A and B are shown apart, each in its own frame.
Chain A
């Protein structure tokens, strides 16, 4: 029976899709059977980040409307045997997503996978509320920046009120994933630090993904960062976060890239 995880944030551009791909791949790399589902109808991108954009035939809305079977719409990753993608529709109206339809798809997926990871669109509209609706757990992706933290707080409020689990009086397990973190800038007081963010949001931390060039490089080539360069700092951070999702106790640290000689001589001390 799968655990349904929603990757959400409220604010756009903080790294939901990147994180969905990286966490999905990291869990699949650990041998788990994972499906990543794109809920961003009309603006799908998970297929592109995973390098499966040319293999999309059917999509989530086709399955919701019964035009295609789930097995026809799922795309198996070419690198990881246990990673599957259910893409969003690029052309349909997002109102085509119905709660009953999504409930049916999620129910079917629960029996087939270990993890169902829903990539939420930005905002708090239909797509975002349906992505979180049936979640057992949530990863709230947050940048150490005021607007992102505020939106994360709003989303945490919605997780407590609008999810099916919350309506049953149960608790949706939730985690903060801090992305684009620059330890040096935080140390200099130029950026909110980890404790600031956690204290404000009073939610446990899943991982800290450092700001890195590797993230853009991975999306350029259409590969999750954990696959593209598994030893890079963001990849190690995502791999640790995935292990924590699995219940492992992994010490929290901020992976750093190896500094070049010039940087070591003239740069600032790493955290």
Chain B
């Protein structure tokens, strides 16, 4: 070691080593579950598809890794508000707004925003139960005619 080194202090290699060790431990963990997102995507899609017909590309799953907390974000875009309504909510005793409110509980924020706008522009929101079971393709329910509001 030369005299010059006395003034240079510690080399940068220990830092390189430390950075690599941290990075690679993260990357190796991620590599062990390379299809985690794909698996989640498939399972979420399958679960939703039991009640509502959704297109594959309308289910978005992403993971954000933060320093302390990681978040899993699931964004499901459903074609129209089509879901099963309990009998008590059916009939004329309840107004359309109330029914729509129930539907909104089962929705994502994105859908709720969409619903809010729809209520402002469409005076009557009808929900159906019978046709919705299992399949409920929007064209068969009659809701398909309603133009989707711009978001």
Contacts and interface: CB of A to CB of B under 8 A. Distances in A.
Partners in one complex: yes
Interface string B1-21: 110010000111110110111
A269 B1 contact: yes
A247 interface: no
Interface in A242-271: 268-269
Contacts of B21: 200
Nearest to A153: B24
Contacts of A154: 27
Contacts of B17: 192, 196, 200
Interface in A144-176: 145-146, 149-150, 153-154, 157
4 pairs of A and B residues whose beta carbons are closest in the complex: A189-B11, A190-B11, A196-B17, A189-B13
Given A146-B19, A200-B21, A193 B27 contact: no
11 contacts: A145-B16, A149-B20, A150-B20, A186-B13, A189-B11, A191-B11, A191-B13, A192-B17, A196-B16, A196-B17, A268-B2
Nearest to A146: B16
A192 B14 CA distance: 7
A145 B31 CA distance: 22
Contacts of A191: 11, 13
Contacts of B28: 153, 157
Main secondary structure of the interface of B (DSSP, over half): helix
A54 interface: no
A200 B21 CA distance: 6
Classify chain A's interface size.
10 to 19
Nearest to A200: B20
Contacts of B1: 187-188, 268-269
A187 B11 CA distance: 9
B23 interface: yes
Nearest to A196: B17
Contact of A188 (B5, B19, B20, B31): B5
Given A188-B1, A269-B1, A153 B27 contact: yes
A188 B16 CA distance: 14
Given A153-B24, A157-B31, A190-B13, 5 more contacts: A150-B20, A188-B1, A188-B11, A189-B14, A196-B17
Contact of B13 (A150, A192, A268, A269): A192
Nearest to A154: B27
Nearest to B9: A189
